[in-house]
Amino acid sequence: MTGQRASIRYLSRKTKDAAAAPRGLLRPLSPARRRTEEVVERIADQISSGKLGAGAKLPTEQEMMVAMGVSRTVVREAISALRARGLVMTRQGAGAFVSTDPAQQPYVIHPDGLGSIGSVIEILELRTAVEMETAAIACERATATELKAIRRAAAVFSKAVKRDDRAVQEDFDFHRAIALATHNRRFVGFLEYLGGLIIPRQSIRLIDDKTYLRKVASEHEIILGAIEGRSPEKAREAMRRHLLNGRERYRRLGVAAAEIGGGTNGGKINGKSNDKPNGRTR
């Protein structure tokens, strides 16, 4: 009975916590809309209307999952998109919060256009310029603990691939571990600003994800080996090759899509406009 009463008290407390959220936020989503987009729009509307004020804490992942009827992946992708807009910031272990001044957005990569092959390639080129040097600096500054963290992130990604997971978060965590090893918060901030948006396959699915992800895992191992070997030039080149390979994969996908559409489909993929993601996530 003691355990039962404790469970009732816990559920009551969680219900009260959820009830404290602004009205209209924690309600089930309609089945017809793409999950991530609707979560993003709902939270953004709450922020723009002032129902979620500057500095306000967003409901937890679990609360949003239960109340909206979506997966953890959808919630995390939505938070990444909001962070890319400058509307939300996250704090390790504390959760997500409305930015202190969400109206101030000096530079924004809007997620709505990231289903476009051209936009994906632009992001990959931007990442190449930054992450090549990130890897090189990590070679010089990484501590033994940080090397272990990079190695662990590579292993976690490989395990996710083996169980047929799309490994979006695991991929991001690998690149973030390298950024942390630079001891330069600007590199970390750059990746965190982009969030999960740096992983193109969450908005555009390749035909053979399994083969593609095994190749990515192999490239991660090469980058890891160069960093552990303390070779900045090898690390720089390994990261460059990794991101250029990604760019080439998506370039080929764009060419194939144009050929299928006879060059007159206005940049659509699988019959959908490139202006928005194609609605398929992991």
Contact yes or no for 77/195 (Cβ under 8 A): no
E-only strand ranges, the chain: 88-91, 95-98, 268-269, 272-273
User: Each residue of 33-86: pLDDT tens digit?
Assistant: 478 888 988 998 898 888 999 899 999 999 999 999 999 888 988 888 888 778
Least trusted range by pLDDT, from 42-56, 199-213, 216-230: 199-213
Q: Is there a domain that residue 11 lies in?
A: yes
Instruction: Verify that 67 and 151 share a domain, yes or no.
Output: no
Instruction: Verify that 46 and 179 share a domain, yes or no.
Output: no
| Total domains in the fold of the chain | 2
Of the residues 98, 125, 143, the one at which a domain ends: 98
Distance, in Å, from the CA atom of 36 to the CA atom of 77, rounded to the nearest integer, reads: 7
CATH number at residue 134: 1.20.120.530
Instruction: Verify that 78 and 121 share a domain, yes or no.
Output: no
Instruction: Verify that 240 and 122 share a domain, yes or no.
Output: yes
| Residue 70: both structure tokens together | 């979506």
pTM: 0.62
CATH number at residue 87: 1.10.10.10
Q: Is there a domain that residue 171 lies in?
A: yes
| Residue 51 backbone phi and psi in degrees, to 5 | -65, -30
User: Each residue of 71-94: pLDDT tens digit?
Assistant: 988 898 888 888 877 889 888 788
**Domain range holding 53?**
2-98
pLDDT of residue 194: 77
Instruction: Verify that 87 and 120 share a domain, yes or no.
Output: no
